[in-house]
Structure 1
Amino acid sequence: MTAVGPEGRIPVLDIGPYLAGAPGALEQLARHVARSCEDTGFLVLANHGIEPRLIEECFAAARRFFDLPAERKLPLKVGELNIGYLPPGTQTIRTSRIHDNRKPNLNESFYIVRDRAPDDPDILAGKPFVGLNKWPDGMPEFRAATTAYFGAMQTLAHRMLAVFSAALGMPPDYLYRDFRDPTCTLRLIRYQPQPRDAEDQFGFAPHIDTNLTTYLAQSEVPGLEVRTKEGTWIRPPAIPGTFVVNSGEMLGRYSNDRFAPTPHRVINHSGRLRHAIPFFYGPDNDAVIEVVPSCIGPGNPPRYGPLLYADHRRRLNVTNFAHRQAAAGAPQAST
């Protein structure tokens, strides 16, 4: 079932038996996930069933897009919704609990959400946070590769909900009630090579993820670092074909901080461009996140009140993105 990574803190979990429905596999996997979420909040999934071709084609699509000239990327720039292209220097993480981030991340990104048609009922109704993807002209293979990967990752993340429910000490179907229409984002990222002598400069500054769980296909170029409870930074086991998975802020709230999310960062000292394709999985926008009954009791009252997930997303967008601060009339930190 498991092997332990070289740091001894981030387990490698074979989830094949669980996906195949083997007796007792869910419960065994949930125990390993619970132990990891109580410690680093990071684990590595092997034998996950995602076709290698889908992963490779998504990475290739990301490389082709970022190699385009700026005049082809900038018309796809993000607007009111974080959909489309985010140029370098336009995201400064201001919500970090462990580092006073004052410099923008050394990366550029492209955000993809669930692909919808213009006549989709939620589009026509103007539902909050629902919008159309922005696709580069003349690149149909880009859309095909990224949407295929998006669909496969949403299916995997949804199947893993039962494991996280059981890890919380709840019935396997417990979390599904808040994920009937989950909030999913595929973020393609290209990290610039990072000068070793740059002070307080990161490919991605120390932060926690603000969703439920994040699934990161292993990159050819390393860079992800995880902060342990002791304050040291370690790297997950670099095993090709696996996914690095981490818990986010919403799992922390469900668990009453039993599964508190772990700060992590990206430092690219490789001298090469680094590409990443993280998939972020979160609750429905209209879900109300509450501490689960198994994580409260005498002497351990709820640390959090009910939270509408849409309100959570609105606050984050205004805080961390310069274009949303401008739209909201908030003062922007210098970048």
Structure 2
Amino acid sequence: MSQNAGGPDGRIPVLDIAPALAGQPGARQALAERIARSAEDTGFLVLAGHGIDPALPAGCFAAAAAFFALPEEVKLALKVGELNIGYLPTGAQVIRTSKIAEVKQPNLNESFYIVRDRAPDDPDILAKKPFVGLNRWPESMPEFRRATMAYFTAMEALAQRMLPIFTLALGMPEDYLEGDFADPTCTLRLIRYQPQPEAEEGRFGFAPHIDTNFITFLAQSALPGLEVRTREGEWLRPPAIPGTFVVNTAEMLGRYSNDRFAPTPHRVLNANNEMRYAIPFFFGPNNDAVIRPVPSCVSAESPARYEPLRYEDHRRKLNVTNFAHRQAQPA
């Protein structure tokens, strides 16, 4: 299968969202219509005009590189536990949930997961709410926490500004999903991909998969590697435009849309002769949100394909399936 560029005039469009964010008349609806067309096709698009200070993703990339350069024993002291927060070493994730490939080999990457930053006396921590925990920070790197949380905060704000536009794309009033995202599940994942100059059957930096949240924001990496699978089975690379964000639809948006916006499989192959870094930001519903197909996507001709699903239950099942450190734990 070939790997072709996806745009700007191809299957993965480049969209200037500045007019919509500025509230120009008609701009939000026009952007929603463009998003809908892309979501019905590749599920990937590239956002320009987003207003994010370029120093923020740059600082996050630099923080990721500095962290992964630490000695292995320092990183392993921050290894993930029952919650996926902290360091995930190479070989700890096998994408068993892939629907387009039989994946047996672990991903060739190491990761660091960051969630909403909380104090030990946070009410949700004290209440031991599911999937709520403390971030694991390297004590010798205070700048790491500052840089990653500045980026996290900016990306969550952008995601919330885009939520009503994606809701319009679904054909619903802008505020329809507000309640489901009042306390959204947000995760920043720092990733370092090992080089794969020689292709190896069944081995990937990240095996073919769909994202399991709502939408994902990916700052442009310095090196290529991300590939998107079209409905026809061709692999495309999104337009690599510095300063933009690659955005893709994910599984929960697919459920809300009753599969009208079915998420698209994608993969990472680091054919470069050096380490490749990525900083995806995952935006999902509240843990207690119950996801149902929205009324605009259900009809006599297209009845609801999904039963109501509590997001927390969905996350628990995925974690037990795909991560080695959860295999011995009960679902």
Other-structure match for 1:316 = 318
Distance 2:258 2:84 in 1: 29
Distance 2:220 2:306 in 1: 34
Question: 1:252 Cα deviation (Å)?
Answer: 0.4
In structure 2, give the amino acid aligned to 1:323. Answer: H
In structure 2, give the amino acid aligned to 1:249. Answer: E
Distance 2:303 2:324 in 1: 37
Distance 2:221 2:108 in 1: 17
Other-structure match for 1:302 = 304
Aligned pairs (5 A) from 1:274-313: 274-313=276-315
Other-structure match for 2:21 = 19
Task: Provide, for residues 275-295 of structure 1, a one-character-per-residue CA deviation record: whole Å limited to 9, x for no partner.
Answer: 000000000000000000000
The correspondence for 1:247, drawn from 241, 246, 249, is: 249
Contact kept, 8 Å, 1:162 with 1:172, in 2: the verdict is yes
Structure 1 unaligned residues grouped into runs of 5+: 331-335
Contact kept, 8 Å, 2:156 with 2:283, in 1: the verdict is yes
Q: Note if 1:59 corresponds to 2:57.
A: no
TM-score by length of 1: 0.96
The correspondence for 2:158, drawn from 148, 156, 159, is: 156
Other-structure match for 1:192 = 194
Other-structure match for 2:219 = 217
Distance 1:34 1:51 in 2: 27
Question: 1:7 Cα deviation (Å)?
Answer: 6.8
Contact kept, 8 Å, 1:249 with 1:261, in 2: the verdict is yes
In structure 2, give the amino acid aligned to 1:215. Answer: F
Other-structure match for 1:264 = 266
Q: Note if 1:125 corresponds to 2:127.
A: yes
Task: Provide, for residues 191-246 of structure 1, a one-character-per-residue CA deviation record: whole Å limited to 9, x for no partner.
Answer: 00014231110000000000000000000011000000000100000000000000
Other-structure match for 1:36 = 38
Other-structure match for 2:3 = none
Aligned pairs (5 A) from 1:73-222: 73-222=75-224
Distance 2:228 2:192 in 1: 19
Three-state SS of the structure 2 residue aligned to 1:326 is: coil
Task: Provide, for residues 298-334 of structure 1, a one-character-per-residue CA deviation record: whole Å limited to 9, x for no partner.
Answer: 1210000100000000000000001011223x8xxxx
Contact kept, 8 Å, 1:7 with 1:234, in 2: the verdict is no
Three-state SS of the structure 1 residue aligned to 2:146 is: helix
Distance 1:271 1:168 in 2: 42
Distance 1:195 1:219 in 2: 18
Question: 1:6 Cα deviation (Å)?
Answer: 5.1
Contact kept, 8 Å, 2:189 with 2:281, in 1: the verdict is yes
Three-state SS of the structure 2 residue aligned to 1:158 is: helix
Contact kept, 8 Å, 2:91 with 2:109, in 1: the verdict is yes
Three-state SS of the structure 1 residue aligned to 2:87 is: strand
Identity %: 73
Other-structure match for 1:49 = 51
Other-structure match for 1:229 = 231
Three-state SS of the structure 2 residue aligned to 1:35 is: helix
Structure 2 unaligned residues grouped into runs of 5+: 1-5
In structure 1, give the amino acid aligned to 2:84. Answer: N
Distance 1:7 1:31 in 2: 16
4+ residue runs of structure 1 moved beyond 6 angstroms? none
TM-score by length of 2: 0.97
Distance 1:306 1:198 in 2: 40
Contact kept, 8 Å, 2:96 with 2:103, in 1: the verdict is yes
Q: Root-mean-square deviation (CA), in Å?
A: 1.0
Distance 2:101 2:143 in 1: 39
Other-structure match for 1:333 = none
Worse-matched range after superposition: 195-204 or 21-30: 195-204
